[in-house]
Each structure stands twice: as structure tokens, then as C-alpha cells.
Structure 1
Amino acid sequence: MNLPQSPTNLNLETLFPFELDDFQKDAIAALDAGQSVVVCAPTGSGKTLIGEYAIHRALAQGQRVFYTTPLKALSNQKLRDFQQKFGEELVGLITGDILINVKAPVVVMTTEIFRNMLYETPIGQVGTSVRDIGAVILDECHYLSDRQRGTVWEESIIYCPTQIQLVALSATIGNPQELTDWISSVRASAQQEETEENDCTLINSDFRPVPLRFYFSTVKGLVPLLNGKQTQINPKLKAKHPHKRRRRRMEDCPSIPLVISQLQERDMLPAIYLIFSRRGCDRAVDILSEKTLVNPNEARRIQQRIDEFIQQHPEASKNGQFEPLTRGIASHHAGLLPDWKSLVEELFEAGLVKVVFATATLAAGINMPARTTVLSALSKRSDDGHRLLTPSEFLQISGRAGRRGMDTIGHVVTVQTPFEGAKEAAYLATATPEPLRSWFTPSYGMVLNLLQKHTIKEAKDLLERSFAEYLAQRKLAPEQQAIASLTTDIAKLNIELAPINPKQFTDYEKLSERLKEERRLVKVLQQQAEATQKVEIAKTLTDIAPGQIFYLKGKQIPVQEPLPALLFEKAPGKGQSPYLICLGANNRWYVSASNNVVGIADISFPESALSSLVPPTGLTLKQGQTRKGDAASVPIAQQIRDRVQPLTPAPEVLEYQERVERLTAKLENHPLHQWGNSKNLLKRYKKRLALREQLKQSQSKYQRHQLNRSYYWQDFLNLIEILREFGALDEFVPTPLGEATAAIRSENELWLSLILLSGELETLAPHQLAATLCAAITETPRQDSWSNFAPSQESLEVLDKLQNTRRRLNQVQHQHNVALPVWLERRLMGVVEQWALGEAFSVDWNQLCDETSLDDGDIVRMLRRTVDVLLQLPQIPGISEILQINARLAATQMRRFPV
């Protein structure tokens, strides 16, 4: 693609003083042409550069840019990156609980924040929240396929005003064109027209600046996983007995220290070592207690950074992972403090940490490139049980390998385990990524936000723009084409057959079927009669002399009607039955067995008549042999034809033959013949019947699909019924309760609004309010979870009063087939209540962690979610002033390290 002159007069060589890849050039050209883009390329290929260009372009045009990410941690990382590139004053951040320079030209935010902004404006219009926005970059857009969060991406794309350029950055997926076409269709339908401005261009690339090589680790060593062409499993790794499945012993699988040693020997560090459990990551660090992967200088630099970290966060001084970190070893998972994980990421990027044991969450966009990624297993636990990784998951994890500008090759190591081997690893390494799918799910907030600014019909139209609906329509397209084609074919036949009464076809077909059946019966009766006759004839054949006339028919005498033939002589045959050498009325000689004789005539020729006959010399004495007669046999054959009458059928055969003749005559005189060739007409009539049945089935299938594709709408209507029952909607108009529910962001907005407007929380102190709200938004923890902090009696009494509302909401949701969570979890309330007392009255962080079974990271996540809800309260209409004041106080008291 030739790059046009940039309308913003941006100098690409100045912006990017290095050679751009072709897909980057194509994406930049599309952006300069005013188009939205979907950039689908491998992890580490340089997609972010396209987002950066979109920022440069918007800034040069005096417009603002939103850069959205799926995770707060990724948003924080992008904030740091963009502040370095564009300057701190030009970049802001919004992540719910953190607001930094929100009026800046470039604002990084989570995708959910962007969706929430769009809720504030009539869909498709430019409101105050998105005014002057030139472009929105949707990083990690493949999250659209995430079961829990994918709806946010779909809503963001559907609701985004068409004046805003979309830049969707995605890892490799199986259906990038479908995603691109859907975005184009959504933006076109928003303006009710197809225009080039709404076009979305796909920039699809499989280019990796640092190519990957795959290895398989065994106790014997590190072996290439694939063949030389990287298309199939390495022949050396093929199982000797592929059909014999057995679980391998642990001693036959390489240990973590052995794998690390293999990487050291080949200079394949630093590495990210994926282990799909937090405990597994921490155990791996402990297992390497004798291992040092850094030199003394690197160890000093790490220690210096640790000292700075402790000085900034003295509460984290008890962290037992400081010592392994000084040896270049660390873990990284959701159970650790966010600040600690940031420290690990920083040291890893600096090349000081040589191996990080991480869970799969690390694959979600955090910038931690490594020379090598190691997968400790190829399967993991999921909501659906233990399963093999999907090709997309494997690709996402593998893509971490290979640092651009530092490595020429990225290494991906899979490890032999008791359950998985080279076969599974080679499959994942060569498989193509699966297509994105939609998990679009309506919620109370979605219903109310749409109905605040749209009619019910407009809301339905918006729902029908979802990616799921689009994919359903794509599946229906062949069915629609088939229906159109069948309808056309039937119409042509209708015109052709219009003059003919359909009764003539059915009558003609019945006669044809009857005639066919009568002929079949005649044939059966003939065969039965001939079989009976053959038995009788066989008894008399020994007495038959040459000159006798009989009738031949059978496998060796393939004639339609029994053939009169003159017996010339008998010859010894197989067994006791002689061969019969005969001259037929057709002047052909036959060598026949007795089982071909189906009748004996009352006529015979004298032996003197046979004197002129001589069988052909080529006639060998073998059953079924036949030869043409000569001039001498012609007169005899003629006499046979003249003197011998055809063999009379048995009486029962004769009766059915007469029936056949009557039906044949009736069929030949049928009125259908007046319209042309009756057989061809009947054939077309049957074709029309078959096409009509096919059309009926296709229409039925299409209607079923149409019903299935509207289940989102049914969910939407179910939510409306529940909202009406609780007084959040008056017909389709949100009530004050509905307006409050629409302003809330949680997994069950109605449940939270019912609590907040119940009047029960006004008596609670700030720390008790925080604990109660945490109970309403915290999912049920593991059975072995515990806390030594008991919640206050006041908080527990409020929970008791809310139980009836909870029970009723659960019942109504169940009646309407809605499965949104209605939590009221008591076990961990005390932890939140203790922390929300504030620094002056609460225990310190280490004491808090010591008194509960939760991991540090889980506690932080629970506290941050609670703070997020507390910060929402002052923005929710109808919330009492006392609740607003207490919510602000509680949030202020909770927002200290590490929260």
C-alpha cells in the first residue's frame, strides 16, 4: 500500500526513526485515509506503534485520544510509557479509583470506563464526555471473547459515535475479517448508510520481528519440538506406540531446576515460566533456593532497588521473596501485592530478573518480553473442568518470547509431564487460533441506561448490532440464499406445469407404480414356474433323443423369451448331468446344461434331418459356449421357427400378463400425454415436490435460527420484568430507583441499589458501611477461607435485615431465568471493617494479612473493589447525604498502601 501524504503533515521518519514493517505502514495509511482499523498481529510484533501514531495524528489535528485497556495494571503501565513519549502534562489516567490529569489530550483508561462514558450520551451522539475525541484505541480487543468482560468491548464499539476513529489492536485470532466487517456494519447502521467514513480496514499480519522456535524438555535434554519446516512434530519425538496411552512417572519428567539448567546451558534466559497456580509459582521459587542466576553486579543493583522499595513501602518489609529476587528469581501472580508485581516487572524489563514464575494472567498484555517462555503444563483447570489450552491461549503465552531489538530468535519450551507430551505440544504449536466469539450479556445497568435515552424499539435495534447477532446472521446467509434459490426454481416449475391439473400427475404416477408392481409379479411367477418345470424336465432328459425340440433360458442362455432349440447330441458333462449340444431357432449353437431347459415341445425332428448339421469347430465342450451357425444350419433354424410355437406361460403367469397389457394400454392413453413427454413432465412434477419439501425444511431451520438469535432480546425483556417488579421501571421509564441502578457499576446493579436505597445503611459508621458493601459485592470465598477479624454487631444486624430482599431478588431472578449473583458474604467483612478504621485505629498491613487466610493480592483486590463502590456513591442519584459523607470518609481511610 502506498502511503498518502499525511493530512496532519506528520513526518514518519521523525516519529519512528527506524524501518516500519509493511503492516504498520498499511495501518498508518488507513488511518490517514480516515478509516478505522482492526490490527491483528502476533504479540510483540509492534501493534502499539499504530496506537501511538493514532495519538500523534489526533494531537496534530488538535483532538483528544482515549487509549483503553482491559486491566488497571496495563492502564498504569501505558500511563508510564506514554508520559515518557508524549510528556506528563499531555497524558492522563482514569481507572475508577485513580484520576490523573483527566482533561489531558491523551487519557488512558480501562475499556469499562470508556463504556460508562458512552452511557452518559445518547448512543451514537457526541456528548460532553467524548467531545473532541478524534480516536479511541481499543488495546487487547480480543478480550471481546472473554466470557466475563467481553460485553464491555461490544458495547463500546456499538455505542461509540461514528465520528470517532476506532483503532482495535488484537492478538492473532481465527476470524479477523468477521470482526472487521462487524465493526463496519455497526458504524454504518448507526448512520443508516454505507459510507467510506464508516469503513473499517483489516490489517492482518502473521509477521513476527523475532521468530519463534519451539522446544520440548525431557529428562534427557532439550529437543526441537517441530521438524525443520516447523509444520509437524519432530520425528524423533513421535511415540513408538502412539495408541498406547499411559501416565508417565514423575521421575520421567524434568524438574524445575533441570529445566532452568537446560535454559542456562543454551543461553536462553531470561525466561517467563508459566505455572497455572499461585502456590505452584511460589513453590518453584522455593525449589530454586540454591540457585543464583545473576552476577554480583546485577545482585547489587537488585538490592539497591529493593532498598528503595522498602523505604517507600516499609509495610512490605516482611516479604519473603526479597531474597530470591536478589538471586534473579521471582514469582508473579494475582495473590501478590500489585506494587510488588510492578517491582518484579520493572526488574525483569531491566534484565536483572532471569526467571519469573507466573500464572497465565501475565499473558494479558503486561509488557514483560523474555528471551524464552516455558509452559510447565499444557492443560489447566477451568469452569468446565480440566482442559487442554486452546491454540489462542498457547499463542498468547508463546508470544512473550523474543525481545525485539535484543533477540534474533524467541524460544518456547514445553515440558514433559505425566499427562501431556510432545504430541499435545506439537498440536498447539502448529494449530491456528480459534475465532473470536461473543459473550454479549445484557445487565440491569445496560437496560436502564438504554431506556433512559432510547425507546424500547431503539434499544432492540441496538441489541441486534451485537457481534453475536452479526455472527448469527452470517450463519443464516447461506440459508437465506438457499431459500431464495429454491423459491426461484419452484416458481419456474410452477409456470411450466401451471396448465396441468395436479390430479393427472398423481393418477399417472399411481398407474405407473401399479404397472411396475404387476411386471415385478409376472417376473416372480415366471421364475417360480420355470423352477418347478426345470425339476420335472430334469427327470425326463435322460430319455430325450437327438432331434427333440425344447426351450432354453438361463444364465448361460441370456434371452428375453424361452428359445426353441433342437437337440443335436448329448455329451458327457460334470457330474451325472450331460451337456446338451443344441441349435437354436436364432441359428446359433449352444452348449447347455439341463438346468437351462425350461420346457419341452411336442415336436421332434427325425435323425435324418440332422445329417446335414455339423457343429462349428470353435464350439468347445463347456457350458455356456455359443457359436453362430453356418449356411447348412440356416434351413433347420428356419424350420424350428416355423414349426414351434412360443412356450405357453403357466395360467397364473398368463393372468398377470393380461393385467400388465391392460395397464400398459391405459397408461399409453393417459391424458397427461397431451402436454408433452409424460415421463419428463412427471420427473419435473416430482422435482417440484422435492424442492417444496426442501424449501419447507430450510424455512423451518431459518425460523429456528431467528428465534435462537433473539435470546439476548428475551434476556433484555426478562430484566425489564424484574426491574418493574422491584419498582425500578414504570413501564419503560426508569423510576428514581432505576436512575440510581443505572448509575451503579457492579455485577448486579439492582441488588446494590436496593441495598443503598433501603434506608438500612444510614445508621452505620464509615468502616461499617465499607464492610457491608463489601459483603454485597464479594463472591463466596473458598470453604477453607477464614479471618480472625469479626465484623461489628451493627453490620451483622443490617445484613440480617437485608436477607429478605436478597431472598426475594433471588426468587424473582430464578423465575425469569436470570442468573446474576446476589451476594451477601459475611466471612471477610471483618477484614474490610478493620482496614476501613483508618491508619490511626487499624492494624498495619502485615498484621492484617497475618489474621486471614487470603493472599495479599486477594486482600488488595477485595479492598480496592470496595473503595470503587464507595467512590461511586456520591455520583448515584437519590443517595442520602449521610451515606455520601460516610462513603467518602471510608474511601479516604482505606486508600493507603497497598490499596
Structure 2
Amino acid sequence: MLNLATLFPFQLDSFQKDAIRALDEGQSVVVCAPTGSGKTLVGEYAIHRALDRGKRVFYTTPLKALSNQKLRDFREQFGVDNVGLLTGDIAINRDAAIVVMTTEVFRNMLYGTRIGEVGTSLVDVEAVVLDECHYMNDRQRGTVWEESIIYCPPELQIVALSATVENGGQLTDWLSQVHGPTQLIYSDFRPVPLHFHYCHSKGLFPLLNAQQSGLNPRLKQRRKNPKQRSKKDALAIPYVVGQLHQREMLPAIYFIFSRRGCDRAVTAMGNVSLVNDAEAAQLKLKIDEFMAWNPDAGRAGQVEPLYRGIAAHHAGILPAWKGLVEELFQAGLIKVVFATETLAAGINMPARTTVVSSLSKRTDSGHRLLMASEFLQMSGRAGRRGMDELGHVVTVETPFEGAREAAYLATVGPDPLVSQFTPSYGMVLNLLQRHTLEEARTLVERSFGQYLANVQLAPQQQAIADLKDEIEHVRAQVEAFDEEVFADFENLRERLREEKRLLKILQQQAAEVLKGDMGPALAFAVAGTTISLKGKHVPVSAPLPAVIVTKVPGSGQFPYLICLSQDNQWFVVTTGDVVGLHAEYTRVAAVDDLEPPAGLPHKPGAHYPGDAHTATIACQVPQPPPLEEIAPEVKEQLARTHEVEERMATHPAREYGNPKKTLKQYRRIQRLESDLRDRQQALARSSDRYWQEFVSIMAVLEEFGCLADNQPTPLGETAAAIRGDNELWLGLALASGEFDALTPAQLASACAALVTESARPDTWVDYDHSTPVDNALGGLRQLRREIFQQQRRHDVMFPIWLEYDLIGLVERWVEFGEKANLAAPEGFEEKREAGSDRSDWTELCDHTSLDEGDIVRVLRRTLDFLSQIPHVPHITDALRTNARQACEWMNRFPVNEN
């Protein structure tokens, strides 16, 4: 048993003790704790324990830069011989007891064996530390974490170290299901508490109220009318830094979401110096020493500010210069570093203060407010353990965001982890190389994405179970009925409904024909004429027999009619209310001496009850014949309707009691079963989502001959050996033969076109690629079109890069390396290093608008692909040889910096 007091001669926090106890009990752990809280110590304990037992530990990180930093830290802590590094393009002491690697390299190792088995690369490995595990949220890298956990043998303990997330319990539960017993170690304790501030034109003020639960009331009025806002309202960076300097809140990391913004901020600081004389002397010593060894690594316009304690840090800067900035900042000599948010991703650069310059940023999907986890990640860099009593987080007023947005982000809490799991060509091919289709499906359905989908689908699954129970309950109530009998009865009900609808239409049509245009006829009709009433002013269900008593002037060309109905009611109607004129009947002469009631208004719709005298006259009004006797079509339809009614009256369904009630239950069962089918289909679509993606990718691979009978073909094995954004495209390109005759420099240029993303529209490069490269890439265009077509057909979306803009740089860089290498003396011990003429780099930079860091990234991405080619099966030896040679000539300063 290790002595903790000896290993860690300081007071351990309770969550650290709990994690160590869980590890000693043989469990894996998920440690969710704030940035800077000391969760890395749990990983270090796993290393100490493994060394004590003669075992090994893999320590994975999401970024090469973070892996390089861990390599330096662990070498100092555990000794150089005990630590190795694997980052894809770099392999140092791979058999060491502690191997630091990117998570992708770990995943690739696991591809080499059947899931659950311990391959040769994992012999004696006791634990794997997954640092920055919240990178599962990363859209581009998230799948790697899930695959690593799914494929990791159960014998290995997993130590997952994550920043605070909202659903750590779900991550832990999933790990327990797919890997083994896992315990959640959660802590919201920060050794150095954070204090949030808000900076505006009148100074620096507390952002939150006394309870730290909401906005400081004094800031509630700090909200400008949107129409009055402009970029001129933005606070000057020297003003903000000055506020920090006055309050002794430096050193600070000042986050700005653009590289140019970081560079401009350094310039904006002018000649301000933030260091004292002693610090200035130390800076001069270290910077001068660095520049002596790396004369071309200094960032233009930023060397002199560095002497004054001011720096920038972003992806466009050379790794060597960034490394110097990090070293000086960690030593407390840099007082403010203007950085993009990538600095928040795990690199050990704690500060007393972090400044968030804007609460929104541009993304691929548009301009949006920062996510809570992004804000917390940046905030977490504030407060140096053992050095500061408080860490400070400063949000800056901008023309478009204010104190309310800042308070919301400071108090809302972390975002949940979501799954970014996406099957790829490489995943499909590698799984099917060693597993059956059924085993592959089981593995895909073990993803965190599927786990979360199942959690979200739990209400739907419960609803389906409830529906099934309800259907059985209703069936039990009508268990004796014959579904066919009631189906027939239901059909008859529908037919009767339709027959009645048709009858109504025919009756209306016949009535309209009989009615015709009665206006002129009624104008000449005399008192005592029999008519039928039904209309706007006589709202009755059936035509009402009546007799015309008199006429009065109307509002139009026809008079109003004052009538006495058969039921002894007086009505004032228009000619439009008359639906039948029965001149064939004998006139009712008794109305000749009849006068309308004095209280009856002479306007349509007026009506008045008759008296005893009118009752004797009303009974003389004849009853017109039914419509069906006048219109044959109505008579025929009425017969059909009666026929259906008779069939329903004697239908076998009557034997079950009240058929209407039973039929209602039957229809309820039908509705429930329809709802059940819909829910089951929706559930199947949702629960099968990842597997359907897997199957779609298989279909594309089969189209190009990479799969046959669910097994990779030789062409599929070629693609399976590659790691990239689109392994199918890269594998088919290498197998096409188009690259076989290219020189090493030309091969590097052609490979760059396949792995380099589209350049910005304002990017320029003075170097052209050679004609053989153009011909080789031209030979791939038809293949690229076919892949596009098949991907669209099967709804598969992976990039198919074929970008020419930057490849001239790559070709020229390899040519520089070849020239310098050949010029070195024969047998020269450091012949490769002779290819590191710094003037080559300067010339390369002078011929493009790209930042130095971007040039390095293009070269490294190409180098990563080239370094895989010698290990790809079923390609020509010439291609492998040229790839090795291109790697050798490419991998020199500054590309080969760690």
C-alpha cells in the first residue's frame, strides 16, 4: 500500500481521497471537478501505484500540445526513462512505464485487437487516464473518446478526468454498463474561489449580488438602447489592462476570439511596460537566449512587447514561440497574454485573472452567445493554487452584450455532455476486420450517444408499454366479439352515413329545380295560393306548408309576402324563402277577408302566433306531396338508404348487446393500435439511428469494392489502415496508381490536396504546384465525383478534400529539405538536421499570407498522412519509399518541434 503522506505531502481534498479509495477498490472513476481543483492528482496516483507494482499507465490527452506538456511534467516528476510519448507523428520511448499519447493514438491501438482482448501494445498496462474527458462534447474529436471507452479491455481501470459537467452521473452510468464498475467523484469545490467582475467605462465593479446568485443591482441600468450602440462604444484594451494593473490583478489571460484581435491587442498596448526592473532583467536573459537559438521563431511585432511582459498566444503562432510564452507566463514574467480560447483547453497556464472580452463569438453556424461550459472553461484559468487567495474573472462591456448576459453565464451552471458519436469509414472497416456484423452492431449500440438516446426515449418506451396494457384491458372488455362481424357493421355504418349524405344532396338539388326562379311567378300569385316555406327567414328543418294572405312592398323588385302557415303562425318572407309554389291546388278562399295582426312588422323574418279564427283557416292549407314522389332520383336514393338501415337492424352485431357501445370500444382498440404502431416505428427509427448510419456507410463501401460479404476486401484493408476525415477517399486515392510515379516532393504536394481544408478567400500563396501533381490530382476527379454521388445517395456526409490553394507550399518545403539534405557532407552524423536551414523557413513565410502557425499546421497534417502510407497494405513499394523520403525531408524545424 502506497503511503499517501509521502507521495503528496499536503492536505488532500475529500474528492481526491474518494477517488484514490475507489481506484484501490478496483473501480474505474469519473472525476468531475472545476479547472484548477487538483483532479490531475488522481491520475498521478494511478501512475505512482502502477510504478510501485511494476505495471504501466497510458495517459491520454486531446491535444498534441497538452501531450507535450505532460511529457515534460512527467519526465521531471518520474524521470526521463520512465516516460514516453506517442502523438501519431512522434514516438519516444514507446515501451516506457508511463506513455503519454493523444486519445486518438490510444483508440488506434485498440483497433488492432478484438474488443475486450488485451493486445501486445497493452501488455502490463494497469490503467488509462483520459484527461480532459469533457472533450466528448467536441464535434470533431468526440467520437474518439467513446470508441476508446467502448473498446478498452475491462481489465484496465479508466481514470476519466473531466471539467464540471451537468450530467456526470449519466457518463458514469454509461461507463459502468460498457466497461465495468465505475464511481462518480464529483466536486464543485475550488481551492481558489472565483470573484466575478464587470468592466465598463466608469471602472471595474462586482458583477454579482451579495448572494452570488444574480446580477449586481448597481449594474441593472447599464443597458444601452440597441439603436445607440456602435463599435466605438467598445472599451480600449489598455484601459481594461490598466484597471487590472491598478488593483494588482495581474497576471491575466485576456481571451479574444480572433487571432488578429490578439495581435492587434499587443500592438494596442503601445509602449506600456507591466514588469519591474528585476522581472525585465530576467525576461531579457531568457528571451535573448531563445532568440540566439531560434533567430527566425520570433513573432513579428511581438518580440519587443514580450520584453515588457505582454504577449499573444494563438494557433497562428509558431509552436516554439508559443512554448516560450507559456514558459515565461508560468514563471510569472508575462503579465498579460492575449489568447484565443484554445488556451483554455487544458494547457497549464493559470493566472490570477482571466478577462473575457466578449460574451458571444462567431462559429460555423453563425454568431451566438458563449455556452456555459465555454465560459466556465475560460473562467477556470483564474486563481493560482498556493499563490492567490482569490481568482478574478472579468467580463467586459461591449456594444452588443452587457452585464445581464455576463451574470447569466456566471450563474447558469455547466452544460451537459452530449454525444458526438458518428460512425466513419475507418470505424466500419476496422470493426468488420475482426468482428461479425452482429458483434459490430452490439458495439455501435454501446455508444454514449445510444445510451443518451435510450434515456431520452424512456418516456416513449413507457408510453408504448402503457398502450399495450390499455389495449389488452379494452380487449378483455369485449373479448367475445368477432372482429370481422364488427368490421362489417362498421362498414355498414360508414355506408349509411354516405347514403344519407347523397340523399340530402339529391333532395337539395330537386328542391332547387322545383323552386326555380319564383320571383316573377310569386309577383303575380294571388291571395290564397298555397306555397312551401324554408329559408333564411323561416328556419325550419322541413318545408312548411303556408298560404299567401297579402303582399306588401319589398326592398327590391319583388314584394314581401305575408303568409299564414299550416301550424297557425304568421310569417313575413321574401320570395327567396319560398321553396314550392303549388298553383295546382285549389285556392284557399277563406283568406280573402283575413287581415294580418296589427303587431306584425312588415319586414322579412317577422312572425306572430295566430288565433282561434286563423286556426280554422290554417287547417285548410293542403300538405304538398313528398319530394321523392316528384323526383325519381330521390326516391331511388331513399330506397337504398332504407335497405342499409334494414341490414343494420338485423345485423349479427346486435347479438352482442348494444352494438354502438361495443363498436365504440372496437374503434378505440383500432385507434390505440394505430398509435402503438406509430410510436413503435418512431422508436425504432430513433433507437436504430447509429446502426443505420453504420449500414449506410457499409453500402457506400460495397459500391467501391471495399466490402464483400461484410468483410473488408484488399481495397478495404487499404482504407482501414488510414486515419483521416474520409478514409475511403484517401484509400482509393492511394490505390488508384495516380501517385505511384510522383517524386517525394510531388507526392507530399498531392497528399496535401487530399487532407487540407479549403483556404480562406483572402489567402494567397506564391508557389505553384508542378505539372505531374496537377495530372495526378486530375486523374482523381472522376473518382471524387462518384464518391460524392454515392454519399448523397446513401445520406452519408464526409468531406472529400481536393484543395489546390496551399499545396505549392508543401512541395517547395520538401524540395528545400531535399536540397539541403543532399548538400550535407557524406556520412555527416546530423545529415537530416542539415536540412533545417532557417532561411528556407523565412523564404516560405515570405511567399504566403498564412500565419506561421497555419503553415506548420498544413505541413504537419500532410506529414501525418504521409507517415501512415508506409504502413498501408496493398500499395506499391515505390509509393511507400517516396512517402518515407518525403517525411524525412519535411520533418525539420519548425515542423518537428514538440
Superposition TM-score, scaled by structure 1 size: 0.77
Distance 1:686 1:251, change over 3 A: same
Which residue of structure 2 aligns with residue 445 of structure 1? 426
Distance 1:325 1:831, change over 3 A: same
Which residue of structure 2 aligns with residue 229 of structure 1? 211
Which residue of structure 1 aligns with residue 307 of structure 2? 326
Contact 2:383–2:390, Cα closer than 8 Å, also in 1 = yes
Give the one of 216, 222, 237 matched to 1:256.
Answer: 237
Alpha-carbon deviation of 1:801? 2.2
Q: Does 1:338 align with 2:352?
A: no
Which residue of structure 2 aligns with residue 810 of structure 1? 788
Contact 2:696–2:795, Cα closer than 8 Å, also in 1 = yes
Q: Which amino acid aligns with 2:753?
A: A
Structure 1 SS opposite 2:110: helix
Following superposition of structure 1 onto structure 2, how do residues 23-102 of structure 1 map, counting pairs within 5 Å? Answer: 23-102=15-94
Task: Deviation per CA, 1:259-318: give whole Å up to 9, x if none.
Answer: 001101111111000000000000000000221100111111112111221222223257
Alpha-carbon deviation of 1:68? 0.5
Task: Deviation per CA, 1:801-843: give whole Å up to 9, x if none.
Answer: 2222222222222222222122222221111111112444485
Contact 2:467–2:676, Cα closer than 8 Å, also in 1 = no
Alpha-carbon deviation of 1:725? 2.2
Which residue of structure 1 aligns with residue 729 of structure 2? 751
Which residue of structure 1 aligns with residue 182 of structure 2? 200
Contact 1:58–1:134, Cα closer than 8 Å, also in 2 = yes
Alpha-carbon deviation of 1:721? 2.2
Q: Does 1:130 align with 2:147?
A: no
Alpha-carbon deviation of 1:61? 2.5
Q: Which amino acid aligns with 1:755?
A: A
Which residue of structure 1 aligns with residue 683 of structure 2? 705
Contact 2:71–2:84, Cα closer than 8 Å, also in 1 = yes
Counterpart Cα distance in 2 of 1:495 and 1:753: 61
Alpha-carbon deviation of 1:873? 1.4
Which residue of structure 2 aligns with residue 209 of structure 1? 191
Counterpart Cα distance in 1 of 2:786 and 2:287: 52
Structure 2 SS opposite 1:314: coil
Counterpart Cα distance in 2 of 1:166 and 1:684: 61
Task: Deviation per CA, 1:164-217: give whole Å up to 9, x if none.
Answer: 111111111121111111111112xxxxxxxxxx11111121111111111110
Counterpart Cα distance in 2 of 1:830 and 1:422: 48
Distance 1:675 1:723, change over 3 A: closer
Structure 1 SS opposite 2:296: helix
Contact 1:272–1:355, Cα closer than 8 Å, also in 2 = yes
Alpha-carbon deviation of 1:729? 1.9
Deviates more, 1:856-865 or 1:176-185: 176-185
Q: Which amino acid aligns with 2:870?
A: P
Q: Does 1:870 align with 2:852?
A: no
Which residue of structure 2 aligns with residue 376 of structure 1? 357
Q: Which amino acid aligns with 2:733?
A: I
Which residue of structure 1 aligns with residue 769 of structure 2? 791
Distance 1:758 1:504, change over 3 A: closer
Deviates more, 1:853-862 or 1:883-892: 883-892
Structure 2 SS opposite 1:836: helix
Which residue of structure 1 aligns with residue 646 of structure 2? none
Which residue of structure 1 aligns with residue 463 of structure 2? 482
Distance 1:687 1:233, change over 3 A: farther
Following superposition of structure 1 onto structure 2, how do residues 592-671 of structure 1 map, counting pairs within 5 Å? Answer: none
Give the one of 263, 266, 288 matched to 1:285.
Answer: 266
Distance 1:769 1:370, change over 3 A: same
Task: Deviation per CA, 1:684-724: give whole Å up to 9, x if none.
Answer: 99789768745643552242132133232222222222222
Q: Which amino acid aligns with 2:9?
A: P
Q: Which amino acid aligns with 1:354?
A: K
Q: Does 1:720 align with 2:701?
A: no
Q: Does 1:360 align with 2:354?
A: no
Counterpart Cα distance in 2 of 1:479 and 1:377: 41
Structure 2 SS opposite 1:356: strand
Distance 1:692 1:295, change over 3 A: farther
Task: Deviation per CA, 1:118-166: give whole Å up to 9, x if none.
Answer: 0101111111121221111111111111111111111111111111111
Contact 2:214–2:411, Cα closer than 8 Å, also in 1 = yes
Which residue of structure 2 aligns with residue 303 of structure 1? 284
Counterpart Cα distance in 1 of 2:794 and 2:734: 24
Structure 2 SS opposite 1:96: coil
Following superposition of structure 1 onto structure 2, how do residues 112-191 of structure 1 map, counting pairs within 5 Å? Answer: 112-187=104-179
Contact 1:493–1:684, Cα closer than 8 Å, also in 2 = no
Alpha-carbon deviation of 1:371? 0.7
Superposition TM-score, scaled by structure 2 size: 0.77
Counterpart Cα distance in 1 of 2:661 and 2:203: 71
Alignment gaps of 5+ in structure 1 = 1-8, 188-197, 511-527, 529-597, 601-670
Contact 2:471–2:673, Cα closer than 8 Å, also in 1 = no
Counterpart Cα distance in 1 of 2:486 and 2:780: 77
Contact 1:483–1:695, Cα closer than 8 Å, also in 2 = no
Which residue of structure 2 aligns with residue 473 of structure 1? 454
Contact 1:315–1:844, Cα closer than 8 Å, also in 2 = no
Structure 1 SS opposite 2:184: strand
Counterpart Cα distance in 2 of 1:308 and 1:833: 33
Structure 2 SS opposite 1:134: strand
Task: Deviation per CA, 1:301-350: give whole Å up to 9, x if none.
Answer: 11211122122222325743111111000000000001111111111111
Give the one of 774, 777, 794 matched to 2:752.
Answer: 774
Which residue of structure 2 aligns with residue 534 of structure 1? none
Q: Tell me the percent identity.
A: 58
Structure 2 SS opposite 1:39: strand
Deviates more, 1:873-882 or 1:699-708: 699-708
Contact 1:483–1:699, Cα closer than 8 Å, also in 2 = no
Contact 1:722–1:812, Cα closer than 8 Å, also in 2 = yes
Which residue of structure 1 aligns with residue 571 of structure 2? none
Counterpart Cα distance in 1 of 2:349 and 2:340: 13
Counterpart Cα distance in 1 of 2:474 and 2:732: 64
Which residue of structure 2 aligns with residue 588 of structure 1? none
Counterpart Cα distance in 1 of 2:775 and 2:268: 48
Q: Does 1:762 align with 2:740?
A: yes
Structure 1 SS opposite 2:780: helix
Distance 1:685 1:425, change over 3 A: farther
Alignment gaps of 5+ in structure 2 = 494-539, 541-608, 612-651, 821-836
Following superposition of structure 1 onto structure 2, how do residues 3-14 of structure 1 map, counting pairs within 5 Å? Answer: 9-14=1-6
Aligned residues: 746
Alpha-carbon deviation of 1:246? 3.9
Which residue of structure 2 aligns with residue 191 of structure 1? none
Alpha-carbon deviation of 1:239? 3.2
Alpha-carbon deviation of 1:754? 1.8
Counterpart Cα distance in 2 of 1:71 and 1:132: 25
Task: Deviation per CA, 1:97-137: give whole Å up to 9, x if none.
Answer: 11111000110000000000001011111111212211111
Give the one of 845, 869, 879 matched to 2:875.
Answer: 879
Contact 1:37–1:201, Cα closer than 8 Å, also in 2 = yes
